A and B are shown apart, each in its own frame.
Chain A
Amino acid sequence: MEETSGMQTTTITDREHGMDLLYQMMRIRRFEEKSAELYTKAKIRGFLHLYVGEEAVAVGVTQALRTMDNVLSTYREHGHALSRGITAGVILAEMFGKLQGCSRGRGGSMHLFDAGKRFYGGNAIVAGHLPMAVGMALASKKQKMDNITCCFFGDGAAAEGEFHESMNLAALWEVPLLMVCENNLYAMGTAIRYTHAMQDLEKKGAGYGIESMKVNGMDVLAVEQAARLATAKIRTTGKPFFLVCNTYRFRAHSMFDAELYRDKSEVEAWKKKDPIPALMQQLLEWQLVTAADIKQLELKVETEIQQAVDFAESGTLEPVEELTKFVYSK
Chain B
Amino acid sequence: MKITYREALKQAIREALQNDERVFLMGEDVGRYGGAFAVSKGLLQEFGPGRIMDVPLSESGFVGAGIGAALGGMRPVVEVMTVNFSLLAMDQLVNNAATLLHMSGGQLNVPVVIRMSCGTGRQLAAQHSHSWEPLYAHIPGLIVLSAGTHEDARGMLHTALQCPDPVIIFEYTAMLNLEADLPADAGAVNIDRACVRKEGKDISIITYGAGVYKALDAAKELTAAGIDAEVIDLRVLRPLDNISILDSVRKTHRVLVVEEAWGSVNIAAEVSARIMENVFYELDAGVQRLCGIEVPMPYPKHLEDASLPQIEDIIKKVKKMLQHD
Pair from one complex: yes
Q: Which residues of A contact B (CB under 8 A)?
A: 70, 101-107, 111, 113-115, 120-123, 125, 128-140, 142-143, 161-162, 165-166, 168-169, 172, 325-330
Question: Is A105 within 8 A of B105, CB to CB?
Answer: yes
Q: B293 an interface residue at 8 Å Cβ cutoff? A: no
Question: Is B165 within 8 A of A132, CB to CB?
Answer: no
B56, B58, B68: the one contacting A139 at CB < 8 Å is: B68
Q: B315 an interface residue at 8 Å Cβ cutoff? A: no
Question: Is A138 within 8 A of B68, CB to CB?
Answer: yes
A113, A325, A330: the one contacting B103 at CB < 8 Å is: A113
Q: Which residue of A lies closest to B55 (CB)?
A: A169
| A129-B96, A142-B24, A168-B61 known, 7 other contacts, Cβ within 8 Å | A104-B106, A132-B68, A139-B72, A162-B64, A165-B58, A172-B56, A329-B101
B196 CB to closest chain A CB (Å) equals 24
CA distance A137 to B67 in the complex (A): 12
A326 CB to closest chain B CB (Å) equals 4
B11 CB to closest chain A CB (Å) equals 24
Within 8 A of A (CB), among B227-282: 239
A171 CB to closest chain B CB (Å) equals 11
Q: Which residue of B lies closest to A325 (CB)?
A: B106
- Of the listed residues B56, B63, B92, the one surrounded by the most CB atoms of chain A closer than 10 A to its CB is B92
Q: Which residue of B lies closest to A99 (CB)?
A: B105
CB-CB under 8 A from B143, the residues of chain A are 328
Question: Is B102 within 8 A of A326, CB to CB?
Answer: yes
B101, B104, B107: the one contacting A328 at CB < 8 Å is: B101
B236 CB to closest chain A CB (Å) equals 12
- 7 tightest Cβ-Cβ pairs between the two chains A and B: A135-B68, A131-B64, A139-B72, A104-B105, A165-B61, A135-B65, A132-B68
Question: Is B71 within 8 A of A136, CB to CB?
Answer: yes
B60, B95, B140: the one contacting A161 at CB < 8 Å is: B60
14 contacts between A and B (CB under 8 A): A103-B107, A121-B104, A123-B96, A130-B64, A133-B68, A135-B66, A135-B68, A138-B72, A138-B74, A142-B50, A165-B60, A169-B58, A327-B140, A328-B165
CA distance A44 to B92 in the complex (A): 28
Question: Is B141 within 8 A of A328, CB to CB?
Answer: yes
> What 0/1 pattern do residues 79 to 114 of B give for CB contact below 8 A with A?
000000000000110011000111111111100000
CA distance A161 to B100 in the complex (A): 22
Question: Is B107 within 8 A of A114, CB to CB?
Answer: yes
Q: A135-B66, A169-B61 are in contact. Are A142 and B91 (CB under 8 A)?
A: no
Q: Which residue of A lies closest to B192 (CB)?
A: A330
Question: Is B50 within 8 A of A135, CB to CB?
Answer: no
B111 CB to closest chain A CB (Å) equals 9
Question: Is A125 within 8 A of B91, CB to CB?
Answer: yes
Q: B62 an interface residue at 8 Å Cβ cutoff? A: yes
Q: A104-B106, A131-B92, A328-B141 are in contact. Are A120 and B61 (CB under 8 A)?
A: no
Q: B182 an interface residue at 8 Å Cβ cutoff? A: no
Question: Is A115 within 8 A of B64, CB to CB?
Answer: no
Q: B73 an interface residue at 8 Å Cβ cutoff? A: yes
Question: Is A136 within 8 A of B105, CB to CB?
Answer: no
CB-CB under 8 A from A137, the residues of chain B are 68, 72
B303 CB to closest chain A CB (Å) equals 34
> What 0/1 pattern do residues 110 to 133 of B give for CB contact below 8 A with A?
000000000000000000000000
Q: Which residue of A lies closest to B143 (CB)?
A: A328
B71, B91, B102, B164: the one contacting A128 at CB < 8 Å is: B91
Q: A169-B61, A328-B143 are in contact. Are A132 and B96 (CB under 8 A)?
A: yes
Q: Which residue of A lies closest to B58 (CB)?
A: A165
Q: B216 an interface residue at 8 Å Cβ cutoff? A: no
Question: Is B69 within 8 A of A326, CB to CB?
Answer: no
Q: Which residue of B lies closest to A318 (CB)?
A: B105
CB-CB under 8 A from A169, the residues of chain B are 55-56, 58, 61-62, 65
Question: Is B69 within 8 A of A136, CB to CB?
Answer: yes
B77 CB to closest chain A CB (Å) equals 13
CB-CB under 8 A from B291, the residues of chain A are none
CA distance A85 to B270 in the complex (A): 46
B255 CB to closest chain A CB (Å) equals 27
CB-CB under 8 A from A139, the residues of chain B are 68-74
CB-CB under 8 A from A142, the residues of chain B are 24, 50, 69, 74
CB-CB under 8 A from B91, the residues of chain A are 125, 128
Question: Is B56 within 8 A of A131, CB to CB?
Answer: no
CB-CB under 8 A from B95, the residues of chain A are 125, 128
B60, B72, B104: the one contacting A136 at CB < 8 Å is: B72
CB-CB under 8 A from B67, the residues of chain A are 131-132, 135
Q: Which residue of B lies closest to A123 (CB)?
A: B96
Question: Is A168 within 8 A of B102, CB to CB?
Answer: no
Q: Which residue of A lies closest to B26 (CB)?
A: A138
CB-CB under 8 A from B24, the residues of chain A are 142
CB-CB under 8 A from A325, the residues of chain B are 106
